[in-house]
A and B are shown apart, each in its own frame.
Chain A
Amino acid sequence: NFMLTQPHSVSESPGKTVTISCTRSSGSIASNYVQWYQQRPGSSPTTVIYEDNQRPSGVPDRFSGSIDSSSNSASLTISGLKTEDEADYYCQSYDSTLEVVFGGGTKLTVL
């Protein structure tokens, strides 16, 4: 079993770039895909990044994902921030037994 650790909150101004990290506690971050979900208040989560760095159709290219084996972490980067990006963001991965793990979530404030 493993955990995914995210910062509790981040904030940035409109037009700027923000990066949210997701650190895997054990096992290699590169061993299993990492996904990122956006959840606005009162709504279901939606995928913004899957398979580490893939964007579903309809997700703007301002959203990008990456993994860093040296820090055993994944990152979600949002550039050209818009007020509509304000939401909670969750990373998610799994292990060899197909156990799914979510990070604790990061509240993004665009001020």
Chain B
Amino acid sequence: QVQLQESGPGLVKPSETLSLTCTVSGYSISSGYYWGWIRQPPGKGLEWIGSIYHSGSTYYNPSLKSRVTISVDTSKNQFSLKLSSVTAADTAVYYCARGSSSVYFDYWGQGTLVTVSS
């Protein structure tokens, strides 16, 4: 059974960098598929942040591209998100997910709430 678990600070100060890690179990990241980050501000809809393929290719939401970096650590079977220069608008539940070849997310983490506040 594929499982994903987000981890990282729940509180980040404005202008700082948000860093989250997704640990994958039950599947080897290097074996294929792609891996994505999606967020959901409180009471709002889903927003795709970006994805990384097992090859290392990355794809980012154009509205966030200048602030986002997604990377993979195959030795730890993890992938990570960094979002720089955060503001209160970046407060959201952040999900990591596995993407299929049909470009949909078939397995999701439970999500982690990140609040941007001083």
Name the A residues within 8 Å of B111 (CB-CB).
44
- Residue among B59, B104, B109 making CB contact with A92, cutoff 8 Å: B104
Contact A44 B104 (CB under 8 A): no
Do B46 and A33 have beta carbons less than 8 Å apart?
A: no
Contact of A105 among B45, B48, B102 (CB under 8 A): B45
How many of A's residues come within 8 Å of B, CB to CB? Answer: 26
Known contacts A100-B36, A104-B45; A47/B62 CB under 8 A: no
Nearest chain B CB to A7 CB, angstrom units: 13
B94 to chain A minimum Cβ distance, whole angstroms, is: 11
> With A44-B109, A50-B106, A56-B106 known to touch, is A102 a contact of B95 (CB < 8 Å)?
no
Given A37-B46, A44-B110, 19 extra CB contacts under 8 A: A1-B62, A35-B102, A35-B104, A35-B105, A39-B46, A44-B95, A45-B46, A45-B105, A46-B108, A47-B106, A51-B102, A51-B104, A90-B45, A90-B46, A93-B103, A99-B62, A100-B48, A102-B38, A102-B45
Report A's interface with B, CB cutoff 8 A. Answer: 1, 32-33, 35, 37, 39, 44-47, 50-51, 56, 90, 92-94, 97-105
> Measuring CB to CB, which residues of chain B are less than 8 angstroms from any residue of chain A?
36, 38, 45-48, 51, 59, 61-62, 95, 100, 102-106, 108-111
Top 5 closest pairs, chain A to chain B, by CB: A35-B104, A100-B48, A44-B108, A105-B45, A102-B46
